[in-house]
Structure 1
Amino acid sequence: MLPILGPIGILVLIGYAMGRYSSGLDTRTLSTVVVMVAAPALIFSSLTSMQIAPQAVATISGAAALCLVISAALAALVLTLTGGSLRSFLPVLMMPNSGNMGLPLVMLAFGDTGKELAAAYFVVVALAQHSIGMSIYAGSFRVGVLLRQPLIYSVLLVVLVLATGIEVPAVVANTAEMTGGMMIPAMLLLLGTSLARLRVADLRSAVFLAVGRLGIGVVSAFCVIWSLDLEGLPAGVVFLMATMPTAIVIHVFSERFGRDPERVVGVVVVSTLLTFACLPGLTWIALRMAALPT
């Protein structure tokens, strides 16, 4: 497991160390570059140069959407039974951190082919986070916010290229590949820096919700893999992407709209640490699903 998990841990620790200093990493600027430039470039580069069938990408995208639907249903059930606030904690239990942790983990575990599938999964989750997730906290659906996400236009360009068979000019392809290549290390550094600066306010609630996020992720992954009859690499990718911890961007939304930000940030921290502790087991299961050596 060391070649897979080692680089992730090292980059997160570097980000954590930088986050301990006030003059360290400028997370606002770096996160803006990731969201506005690197992520769309990675999606465009991965999906226009993919070596897998478009049908596989469509299947993974559908699997991502179905995982979110199942996670939302399970989260609503858990919160209703425990008296938790749907407005505050539904996105916490529903939305996985498929970017900061999921993409690097899949790439290291499954290589470039896995990265292409993970990119398709990530697009669905990222768009859901900035539309459904933000809308839950805001109390209304904001189309304008969604239309300002560069990921949408990146996906539209990918569809145009694949549908028409247009050959992407070498200068565009190389630029997208270089720009997208910085996304994964940048996300891991941002994750480590965020962990250094976030604080847990309610540990008991954070542990409960963090365990719930992991459990819901595992259950939704198995349900989707079984219902879509996935096997091999797609099954392994779906399992890893679905079982990631609560997305850091959810804390940003909760703070922006005043929805229990102190408790939400605690869940983000504990959920991330819990998933790190479980990464060897989660990765082993995914490798077994993909029938790769463990």
Structure 2
Amino acid sequence: MLQMINILGPISVITAIGYLFGRSSVRLETQTLSALVILVATPALIFSALTSLNVSLDVIGSMATAAFLCLLISAAIGFLTLKVLGKSIRSFLPTLMFPNSGNMGLPLVILTFGDEGALLGVAYFFIIALAQHSLGLSIYAGSIRVQTLLRQPLIYSIIAVLLVTAFAIPVPQVIVTTTEMLGGMMIPAMLLLLGTSLATLKTSDLGPALVIAVIRLLLGVVSALIVIILLDLRGASAGVVFLLATMPIAIINYVLAERFQYNPEQVAGTVVASTVLTFICLPALVWLALALSKSQFPFSALLVRNGA
């Protein structure tokens, strides 16, 4: 119980502070704060976390592969589900594909698994962030927007990480300290943004939104377990993948839906419903993630058994 309080308490308190700001007359400048997180803090955290802890390319590749497969599985099942339900693919497929691995997921895995969680979580998150700002944007825009991805500092921080890691390039202390300081503001800023956004989103159709929210959670659980088995993930890797895959619908979906005026209030409804549902389920999700991380059962044996 104490462990759960230590993990979930800081997330709930900081999110609540953001929510109170959103409901009060003292408003956070969310557009500026969001731009600061995306353009400065996120690239800095990715570079700082993946270079300072001397992570190997194998670890980066494993977590990136896990993130890509979770996205692929969620996209495939989500597409078929929306077709069966008669829902708009353009409006709701991104909501089923892209979990809130940043605002909510990264703080959660860091509090749950410590420095190792930060390392693994960032290696997973950068794939989600890249996909959100390329594929997600393209779906809402109705056209491919590769040039938008090339303007994101995120992609260049990843290239820098790969170069430093592959060629063992020493990073000057001034860069280490600067990126560590800038990256340190990402987690609290993301949680404040999450709370403020929940307080200010204009929602509609909360009944159907709850259906999408439940599907998102189920897709997260299913895709995570399939990937953990396929890649035979153990320890913190399994727990981190499970938590990040089961996060609620990312707020960036609402931002993009509003930007391109494609059912923004309905998408906002799914974000709110999904976030509330996930908060309710957080103790169970964290417990399952910890159980997966401590399990010594070789998940790949399931595949061997089924194939025998």
Q: Which bin holds the TM-score, normalised by the shorter protein?
A: over 0.9
Q: Is the CA contact 1:51–1:113 (under 8 Å) kept in the aligned structure 2? A: no
What is the deviation of 1:86? 0.5
In structure 1, the residue matched to 2:96 is 93
Q: Is the CA contact 2:74–2:223 (under 8 Å) kept in the aligned structure 1? A: yes
Q: Distance in 2 between matches of 1:104 and 1:149?
A: 22
Within the candidate set 36, 41, 45, 1:42 is matched to 45
5+ residue gaps, structure 2 = 296-308
In structure 2, the residue matched to 1:288 is 291
Q: Is the CA contact 2:224–2:245 (under 8 Å) kept in the aligned structure 1? A: yes
Give the letter for the 1:211 counterpart. Answer: V
- Cα offsets for 1:108-152 (capped at 9, x unmatched): 000011101100111000000011101011111111110111100
Note if 1:3 corresponds to 2:20: no
RMSD: 1.0
In structure 2, the residue matched to 1:212 is 215
In structure 1, the residue matched to 2:306 is none
Q: How does 1:6-155 map to 2 (within 5 A)?
A: 6-155=9-158
Give the letter for the 2:282 counterpart. Answer: L
Q: For structure 1, which segment, 48-57 or 253-262, has the greater mean C-alpha deviation from structure 2 after superposition?
A: 48-57
Q: Is the CA contact 2:57–2:166 (under 8 Å) kept in the aligned structure 1? A: no
What is the deviation of 1:52? 4.3
Q: Distance in 1 between matches of 2:146 and 2:80?
A: 28
Q: Distance in 1 between matches of 2:105 and 2:136?
A: 18
In structure 2, the residue matched to 1:255 is 258
Q: Is the CA contact 2:55–2:165 (under 8 Å) kept in the aligned structure 1? A: no
What is the deviation of 1:101? 0.4
Give the letter for the 1:157 counterpart. Answer: A
Q: Distance in 1 between matches of 2:57 and 2:163?
A: 13
Q: Distance in 1 between matches of 2:54 and 2:276?
A: 34
In structure 2, the residue matched to 1:234 is 237
- Cα offsets for 1:235-293 (capped at 9, x unmatched): 0000000000000000011111121111100000010010000000000000111119x
Q: Distance in 1 between matches of 2:47 and 2:97?
A: 26
What is the deviation of 1:61? 0.5
Q: Is the CA contact 2:56–2:165 (under 8 Å) kept in the aligned structure 1? A: no
Q: Secondary structure in 2 aligned to 1:205?
A: helix
What is the deviation of 1:159? 0.9
- Cα offsets for 1:220-241 (capped at 9, x unmatched): 0011111111111100000000
Q: Is the CA contact 1:52–1:113 (under 8 Å) kept in the aligned structure 2? A: no
Within the candidate set 161, 183, 187, 2:186 is matched to 183
Q: Secondary structure in 2 aligned to 1:140?
A: coil
Q: Distance in 1 between matches of 2:257 and 2:282?
A: 27
Note if 1:195 corresponds to 2:192: no
Q: Is the CA contact 2:106–2:121 (under 8 Å) kept in the aligned structure 1? A: yes
In structure 1, the residue matched to 2:298 is none
Structure 2 length-normalised TM: 0.93
Q: Is the CA contact 1:106–1:240 (under 8 Å) kept in the aligned structure 2? A: yes
